[in-house]
Amino acid sequence: MNVFFHVGRYVAFLVKVFSRPEKHTIWIRQFFKEVQKLGLSSTGIIILVSLFIGAAITIQMAYNITSPLVPDYVISLTTRDTMLLEFSSTIISLVLAGKVGSNVASEIGSMRVNEQIDALEIMGINSSSFLVLPKILAFVFFIPFLVIISMFVGIGGGWLSTVFMNVITPQDYIEGIQLAFIPYYVTYSIIKSLVFAFLIVTISAYQGYYVSGGALEVGKASTKAVVYSIVMVLLFDLILTKLLLS
Amino acid sequence: MIEVRQVNKIFNDRPVLIDVCATFESGKVNMVIGKSGSGKTVLLKSLVGLHSIDTGQIFFDGRDFHTLKQKERIEIRKEVGMLFQGGALFDSSTIEENVMFPLDMFTNDTQQEKLKRVNFCLERVNLHGINDLYPSELSGGMQKRAAIARAIALNPKYLFCDEPNSGLDPQTAIVIDNLIKEITYDFGITTVVNTHDLNSVLSVSDTIVFIYEGRSWWNGTKERMLTTDNQELNEFLFSSEIMRRIKT
Ligand SMILES: Nc1ncnc2c1ncn2[C@@H]1O[C@H](COP(=O)(O)OP(=O)(O)OP(=O)(O)O)[C@@H](O)[C@H]1O
Ligand SMILES: [Mg+2]
């Protein structure tokens, strides 16, 4: 019953969120603020995480593939495809669920408990649309850039590991990442990330918007936001992979 | 003028407002008093639909708020300024942006005109030179005053204040009370103030409604309040030593 209640209220919430903005100039200002807050400010962490994982995947692949029959460039080819297919969309989204999800839920949640949302409503403003729509669009707009950055940096991280850690020769690595490249993998990854971005922001905003109580409840809501976002990202990873890759 | 007729509000099977009736007159400071938890905040929020009500009617100069369409309600809300119990300033915006916000949303004035209005409102509440500070950088009393400035930015017809001077020292409390009174008289606003501060009641109220356990138990003026023989009101009023001394 509880699940149905939340799904119903979530859908009703989205309907309210997707209504026409009242003032376009303000709306555009909000949008760019959110691009900065949710997107641009996540670039650093994404670069760092992608670099580490790209290197780690390369080392693991080299460790796994020890047969003399398999040429070394297969290692970098697999690294590349792992990045493109799964890491740069799904794992990146899990990292972002932590960062963006808690940010959105705690911001909106504290606006709720401090009556700032009431203050918006009292002015005759549709608070859910005003607060949440710019966040959704900004993050969905920006996430493809993060995905692409992550792809490049991850593959670069793998290369660095070959240069500094003596895994395979950098020449083999470079050869491998150019072989049998399937552009659709990138498209697939970006489509997934758009859905994940939407889920992360809307689930977290929902958790924040319906907080009642005080600072403690805001904390709980932001934990829930992260947990539910992660679970839904992984569920939709499965669904979309089935739909798009088979 | 706002008329409240037989309003009932139930939260999770618990009645919080029971047959509440009240009349709030224009150009006057109408006070709602009562113990903590008696339902004052819920009443104030119900007036403007932040809480839905279960039965009853609320008329804003003859317009029955809860039967209006969403669009017409929004029109009324634009005529309302509200001061929340905690101020409710937007904490990621500066004071200037906070006060300018309603102007940004609902007027087509130039930046210069808006700035003039913002400074006028801040001047009105005796705040100068703090335009670029954030709410967290102000004291509680200053935040309350900034919130008043935002509430009056659009020249409201109705002003609702929820405990405007809770948590303030007596002197600052008087400043805020007088401010609310002046604004009310100057602009002919229908002002409703929730409070359990008897000082404010005695100094600035024009009409008083006493809420007791969710019911509108007594109404009248401050002169009549001091001589009432209503038992619950007397218990509320004369629970403090200082008030008992005034009485005798
Ligand atoms: N959102 C809510 N859900 C459930 N019950 C609520 C809600 N808001 C208020 N109540 C209940 O309604 C009653 C009246 O609360 P209200 O906030 O109106 O009191 P108050 O008179 O404003 O008190 P105070 O002077 O302390 O602000 C309380 O018992 C409170 O528990
Ligand atoms: Mg209250």
Q: Considering only CA atoms, which of B25, B31, B23, B67 is closest in space to residue B49?
A: B67
Domains in chain B, please, with CATH?
2-79+158-247 (3.40.50.300), 88-155 (no CATH)
Q: Mutation test of the interface with chain A: which of B92, B107, B154, choosing the one with the most A Cβ atoms within 10 A? A: B92
Confidence at B125, pLDDT banded by 50, 70, 90? confident
- Cross-strand partners of A38: none
Query: What does the alpha-carbon distance between residue B173 and residue B169 come to, in Å, rounded to a whole number?
Result: 6
Predicted confidence at residue B175, as pLDDT, reads 85
Of A26, A107, A111, the CB nearest to B105: A26
Query: Ligand 1 test: best mutation among B7, B9, B10, B11, most atoms within 8 Å of CB?
Result: B11
If residue A233 lies in a helix (H) or strand (E), which one and from where to where?
helix A215-245
Query: What does the alpha-carbon distance between residue A34 and residue A31 come to, in Å, rounded to a whole number?
Result: 5
Half-sphere exposure of A58 (CA within 13 A, CB side): 33
| Interface check B100 vs A, CB under 8 A | no
**Cross-chain residue pair B84–A119, CB shorter than 8 Å:** yes
Q: What residues of A are in contact with residue B75 (Cβ under 8 Å)?
A: 124
- Contact at 8 Å (CB) between B156 and B184? no
Q: What is the pLDDT of residues A216-245, one digit of tens each?
A: 999 999 999 999 999 999 999 999 999 998
Percentage of residues of chain A with pLDDT beyond 70? 100
Contacts of A4 (CB under 8 A, 6+ apart): none
| Interface check A24 vs B, CB under 8 A | no
45-64 of B, contacting A, C-beta below 8 A: 45, 48, 50
CA B123, B183, B144, A218 dihedral sign is negative
Of B80, B90, B104, the CB nearest to A122: B80
Confidence at B241, pLDDT banded by 50, 70, 90? confident
Residue B225 neighbours by CB distance under 10 Å = 22
Mean pLDDT of chain B: 90
Predicted confidence at residue A23, as pLDDT, reads 81
Residue nearest to atom 22 of ligand 1 (CA): B41
Decide which of B171 and A80 is more confident.
A80
Atom nearest to B12 CA in ligand 1: 4
- Contact at 8 Å (CB) between A208 and A225? yes
Q: What is the pLDDT of residues A174-206, one digit of tens each?
A: 999 998 889 999 999 999 999 999 999 999 999
Predicted confidence at residue B248, as pLDDT, reads 66
For residue B111, pLDDT over 90 is answered with yes
Predicted confidence at residue B247, as pLDDT, reads 67
Residue B96 neighbours by CB distance under 10 Å = 18
- Where in chain B does DSSP place strands (E)? 2-11, 14-24, 29-33, 55-60, 63-64, 80-83, 158-162, 190-195, 207-212, 215-220
| Interface check B72 vs A, CB under 8 A | no
Q: What is the pLDDT of residues A149-179, one digit of tens each?
A: 999 999 999 999 999 987 888 888 999 999 8
Closest approach of chain B CAs to the CA of A76, in angstroms?
Answer: 46
* Cα(B37) to centroid(ligand 1), Å: 5
Query: What does the alpha-carbon distance between residue A199 and residue A182 come to, in Å, rounded to a whole number?
Result: 27
- Cross-strand partners of A240: none
Query: What does the alpha-carbon distance between residue B120 and residue A233 come to, in Å, rounded to a whole number?
Result: 50
Token output for A109: 């949640």
Average pLDDT of span B188-209:
92
Q: Considering only CA atoms, which of B75, B86, B21, B29 is closest in space to residue B53?
A: B21
Token output for B161: 């204040």
Residue nearest to atom 17 of ligand 1 (CA): B41
Predicted confidence at residue A110, as pLDDT, reads 95
In chain A, whose CA is at the least distance from the CA of B153?
A123
Mean pLDDT of chain A: 93
Predicted confidence at residue A92, as pLDDT, reads 95
| CA A115 to mean position of chain CA atoms | 30
91-120 of A, contacting B, C-beta below 8 A: 107, 110-111, 114-116, 118-119
Q: Which residues of A63-91 are buried (b: 16+ CB within 10 A; e: fewer)?
A: eeeeeeeeebbbbbbbbbbbbbbbbbbbb
Predicted confidence at residue A37, as pLDDT, reads 94
| Interface check B78 vs A, CB under 8 A | yes
Predicted confidence at residue B48, as pLDDT, reads 86
Average pLDDT of span B224-239:
86
Query: What does the alpha-carbon distance between residue B183 and residue B193 come to, in Å, rounded to a whole number?
Result: 13
Q: What is the pLDDT of residues A15-49, one digit of tens each?
A: 999 988 778 888 899 999 999 999 999 999 999 99
For residue A73, pLDDT over 70 is answered with yes
For residue A210, pLDDT over 90 is answered with yes
**Cross-chain residue pair B77–A124, CB shorter than 8 Å:** yes
Q: For A166-170, B34-38, B117-121, which range has the lowest pLDDT when averaged over its residues? A: A166-170
**Cross-chain residue pair A118–B84, CB shorter than 8 Å:** yes
DSSP of A83-130, one letter per residue?
IIIIIIIIIHHHHHIIIIIHHHHHHHHHHHHTTHHHHHHHTT--HHHH
Predicted confidence at residue A105, as pLDDT, reads 97
For chain A, what are the domain ranges? 22-245
Closest approach of chain B CAs to the CA of A22, in angstroms?
Answer: 8
- Using CA atoms, how far residue B51 sits from B38, B44, B128, B156, in Å, is 16, 9, 35, 21
Of A111, A118, A124, the CB nearest to B78: A124
Tell me the whole-structure pTM to 2 decimals.
0.88
DSSP of A165-195, one letter per residue?
H-SS-HHHHHHHHHTT--THHHHHHHHHHHH
Contacts of B159 (CB under 8 A, 6+ apart): B80, B81, B82, B83, B151, B152, B180, B183, B184, B189, B190, B191, B192
Average pLDDT of span A66-80:
86
| Interface check A43 vs B, CB under 8 A | no
Predicted confidence at residue A1, as pLDDT, reads 61
**Cross-chain residue pair A124–B74, CB shorter than 8 Å:** yes
Query: What does the alpha-carbon distance between residue B89 and residue B83 come to, in Å, rounded to a whole number?
Result: 10
Instruction: Spell out which residues line ligand 1, taking CB within 6 angstroms.
Output: A 212; B 11-12, 16, 34, 36-42, 196
Query: What does the alpha-carbon distance between residue B18 and residue B10 come to, in Å, rounded to a whole number?
Result: 9
Closest approach of chain A CAs to the CA of B212, in angstroms?
Answer: 24
In chain A, whose CA is at the least distance from the CA of B84?
A115
| Interface check B74 vs A, CB under 8 A | yes
Token output for B221: 């003026």
- Contact at 8 Å (CB) between B101 and B79? no
Query: What does the alpha-carbon distance between residue B57 and residue A147 come to, in Å, rounded to a whole number?
Result: 55
Average pLDDT of span B13-29:
94
Decide which of B179 and A236 is more confident.
A236
Q: Which ligand is nearest to the CA of B33?
A: 1
